[in-house]
A and B are shown apart, each in its own frame.
Chain A
Amino acid sequence: MRIGDSLPEWHVEATPTFVISTALATRDFQDVHHDRDLAVQRGSKDIFINILTTTGLVQRYVTDWAGPEALVRQVNIKLGAPCFAYDTLKFFGQIVEREQQDLTIEVVGRTAHGDHVTGTVKIEVPA
């Protein structure tokens, strides 16, 4: 695990079931995450993933790669284009800093509409 190392690309199919089940599992009951009629009324194309889920996906992307021994210390994310139902969310990542066992990984999650999320994750890996 060195600076510049890339994480394997990972794809998430944001099915309506995925959008809704993750919204409910994160206890986010905003209608735009489960009710397409209301989402469309509010100017959205469809229901879309909530921010708590994006944080969870970014964490999972990094820990799937780093292994279960890695400890997550920080997840910072900035949202761009919404990730709508039926979008494919593609994750890319790279190690940008390493200080002993502390790694900083830059993550981008992209849909066909553009960058859904850009962020950094700080983890601590076993020696």
Chain B
Amino acid sequence: MIDIEKEAARIAEQGESAPRLARDPVNLPMINNWLEAIGDEHPGYTEVAPPAMVQVWTMAGLHGQRTLDDPLGAMMTILDEAGYTSVVATNSDQTYHRYLKVGEHLSVTTSLEDVTGPKRTGLGEGWFVTTRSTWWVGDEAVAEMRFRVLKFKPARKPDPKPETPKPQAIRPSVNRDTEYFWEGTRLGELRIQRCGGCGLLRHPPGPMCPECGAIKPKYLVSEGYGVVYSYVVHHHPQVPGKQTPFVIALVELDEGVRMLGELDGEPSVGLPVEVVFTKVDDELTMPSWRPRADR
């Protein structure tokens, strides 16, 4: 177990790092690259550098190695070892004592000011590490910066949800008695069973007429209009292929029989409705109800 606070105190006690010299003196090509990228058209940066560039001059560069006495580097290593592997800058307070002239060669010294943690943050648990840097031209301090980073353990992301197959709608059981009905919905017809003997309309379908006992059912194509006779709003349990809540209405058709189906709309008893056909796949088309458009 690493005692982060103890290590921080040890590094802070070492005080300022030795001056580290910038790769290049303050120079116009780097100034112009910076102005071009930032889009700054300030005309004054021909002999002096933009103040906000101060840190640029002493950046470690593409293959930069931290010096051994660099307190920020040392603290980062300790926090890496303690599992705080990610870093994000949070504060930069820069004070410019004067503008830097082209040709001046900067060096920088850094000390560790403060290490605070562990803190819970939006990014994960982490430590705030604050350093203070001074830029020098010779022995003249020209700029200073208090710089704070958050060194953190990235918050564990929830495991991506396994791809759940899209739930299938509950399929009706189609048999010899009900086949004609589902054949009808596929064609956009709402069929009502009619006795081949006495002509009685009946729904749901069955093999035998309850009135005359004939077993030669035929059908009639409904106009598809009716009114809500009764309904339920279904909240629980979940139903495959459905978002709860949904409405199941018992609709009394103009032809006289009652038929169950989902109602897409605000339900009320007596509400005039019309049939809608929704194709689920090549085999199945479901009838449902919606308030009549013409009322």
Contacts and interface: CB of A to CB of B under 8 A. Distances in A.
Interface of A: 12, 18, 21-22, 24-29, 42-43, 50-60, 63-64, 68, 71-79, 82
A14 B44 CA distance: 25
A74 B44 CA distance: 18
Nearest to A72: B51
A28 B89 CA distance: 12
B40 interface: yes
Interface in B142-192: 154, 157
A89 B39 CA distance: 14
Contact of B96 (A28, A58, A72): A72
Interface stretch (B55-63, B103-111, B225-233, B250-258): B55-63
20 contacts: A22-B37, A22-B38, A25-B56, A26-B55, A28-B59, A29-B62, A43-B86, A43-B157, A54-B92, A56-B34, A58-B52, A59-B40, A59-B50, A63-B40, A63-B42, A64-B42, A71-B99, A75-B51, A79-B91, A82-B88
Interface of B: 30, 33-34, 36-40, 42-44, 50-53, 55-56, 59, 61-62, 64, 86, 88-96, 99, 154, 157
B90 A73 contact: no
A42 B56 contact: no
A73 to B, nearest CB: 6
B176 to A, nearest CB: 57
Contact of A25 (B38, B95, B154): B38
B106 to A, nearest CB: 13
Contacts of B91: 76-79
Contacts of B43: 68
Given A53-B38, A74-B94, A74-B95, A42 B89 contact: no
Contact of B44 (A18, A24, A51, A68): A68
A77 B93 contact: yes
A60 B38 contact: yes
Contacts of B53: 26, 56
B20 to A, nearest CB: 14
A27 B22 CA distance: 12
A64 B52 CA distance: 14
B96 A73 contact: yes
Question: Which 6 residue pairs across A and B have the least CB separation, nearest first?
Answer: A25-B37, A27-B59, A59-B52, A51-B89, A76-B93, A21-B37
A72 B89 CA distance: 22
A56 B86 contact: no
Contacts of B55: 26, 52, 55
A36 B92 CA distance: 25
B38 A56 contact: yes
A68 B43 CA distance: 7
